[in-house]
Homo-oligomer: A and B are copies of this chain.
Amino acid sequence: MAVTMQDVAARAGVSIKTVSNVVNGYPHIRPATRERVEEAIDHLGYRINETARSLRTRRTDMITLAVPELSLPYFAELADSVIQAADARGLTVLIEQTSHGRAREVDVLTGKRRNMTDGLIFSPLELGPEDLALFDVDFPLVVLGERVFGAPADHVTMNNVAAAKAATLHLASLGRKRIAVVGGHEGEQVGSAALRTTGYRQGLEEAGLPYDPALVAEAGLWHRSTGAEAMGTLLDDGVEVDGVFALNDALALGALHALHTRGLDVPGDVAVIGFDDIDDARYSVPTLSSVDPGREQIAQTAVDLLVARITGTETGPFRRVIPDSRIIGRESTGDVPEGGEGRPVAVQEGGIEPAQPLTEPMASEPVAT
């Protein structure tokens, strides 16, 4: 049925291995032979059977990317970047959506699910430090995000505390005194929420502003609707506010919505800054200032680290990599005139360090100062 190397070999009058050599670019082949083989390949429309090749070579040149949900713009954009980075390195990406399911996240790691790829890039949302043991897997793994520190795997993360602090300080530098934070989770000790909240408090402190619990608007899920709700509740409670740091852009866009419906001007009455710098931030009304956590760099680094483990180039201790992040000023903080382009107003440098298991995940994040 399908045409195999055998058929090509027969037509070209060579052995099957010679065909293989041609296909794989083995250098010592007489030009005449190569030509005959290529003619046969074209003529027969031969395409290599990747499955057989993979069985033999033990490589599939595919990697898995496991994210919570593609409808969340941050993850869609991350997936986009990862696919491009993988593509540039000759890899194909298979996407696994964990859809906010703890069980699904566990499956991703235990390999209960399909297991045909060379490695995994995993951005957990449910698993936490208590699940550290699960991350001790027997395939190449790169962890993304802020939920799990100290896993026996390479880790690409963000400059959360430093960036959140910088964002808060940026609002303070604009003269804002009553800076609310939208999106914290009560009592949460791990993950982006906790880290960014820590940065917020550090920022307040450095700016000499008091911490007022009334300015904390909680939101379980980081969606626009919850952001609008949290912001709305805060305003309706009569809390005085002149600045908002939202823990991600979706929340920030929701907050903009809530502010708008209540007739407050942004940035006139309230300045708003988000986190993630998703595409939408550039097109909202007003355009949204945000923290660019270095998405491109995260994706490329993650793929590079994974490739290094797959190929065995890197066998040393696991690394933790933190890309540079930048504050992008736009209309919502009055950093650009209406219609102007966003521009970087601050940079936090990242870095690379060995990742050791730590009992205090909160403390484990390096803080650029």
Provided the pairs A50-B114, A55-B55 are in contact, do residues A279 and B95 lie with their beta carbons within 8 angstroms?
no
- Give chain B residues whose Cβ lies under 8 Å from the Cβ of A285: 256-257, 260-261, 285
* Nearest neighbor of A253 in chain B, beta-carbon distance: B283
Chain B binder among A19-27, A74-82, A165-173, A178-186? A74-82
Chain B binder among A9-17, A65-73, A155-163, A210-218? A65-73
* Nearest neighbor of A227 in chain B, beta-carbon distance: B283
- Give chain B residues whose Cβ lies under 8 Å from the Cβ of A280: 280
- Give chain B residues whose Cβ lies under 8 Å from the Cβ of A257: 283-285
* Nearest neighbor of A256 in chain B, beta-carbon distance: B285
* 28 residue pairs bridging A and B, Cβ less than 8 Å apart: A47-B111, A48-B115, A49-B55, A50-B116, A51-B51, A51-B54, A51-B60, A69-B80, A70-B79, A70-B80, A70-B83, A73-B73, A73-B76, A79-B95, A80-B97, A84-B97, A84-B99, A92-B113, A92-B114, A92-B116, A93-B94, A93-B95, A94-B94, A225-B282, A225-B283, A256-B285, A257-B283, A261-B339
A20 to chain B, nearest CB (A): 16
- Give chain B residues whose Cβ lies under 8 Å from the Cβ of A279: 71
- Give chain B residues whose Cβ lies under 8 Å from the Cβ of A246: none
Check if A240 is an interface residue, CB within 8 A of chain B: no
- Give chain B residues whose Cβ lies under 8 Å from the Cβ of A51: 51, 54-55, 60, 116
Given contacts A48-B115, A70-B79, A93-B94, 8 further A-B contacts (CB under 8 A): A50-B115, A70-B76, A71-B77, A83-B95, A83-B97, A225-B283, A256-B285, A260-B285
A332 to chain B, nearest CB (A): 13
The size bracket of the interface on A is 35 or more
Cross-chain contact of A96 among B55, B76, B92 (Cβ < 8 A): B92
A302 to chain B, nearest CB (A): 16
User: In whole angstroms, how far apart are the Cα atoms of A284 and B250 in the complex?
Assistant: 11
* Nearest neighbor of A54 in chain B, beta-carbon distance: B51
Complex interface bits, A141-167 against B, C-beta within 8 A gives 1, otherwise 0:
000000000000000000000000000
> Lowest 5 A-B CB distances belong to which pairs?
A76-B76, A224-B283, A70-B80, A50-B116, A51-B54
Check if A293 is an interface residue, CB within 8 A of chain B: no
- Give chain B residues whose Cβ lies under 8 Å from the Cβ of A49: 55
A130 to chain B, nearest CB (A): 22
- Give chain B residues whose Cβ lies under 8 Å from the Cβ of A73: 71, 73, 76
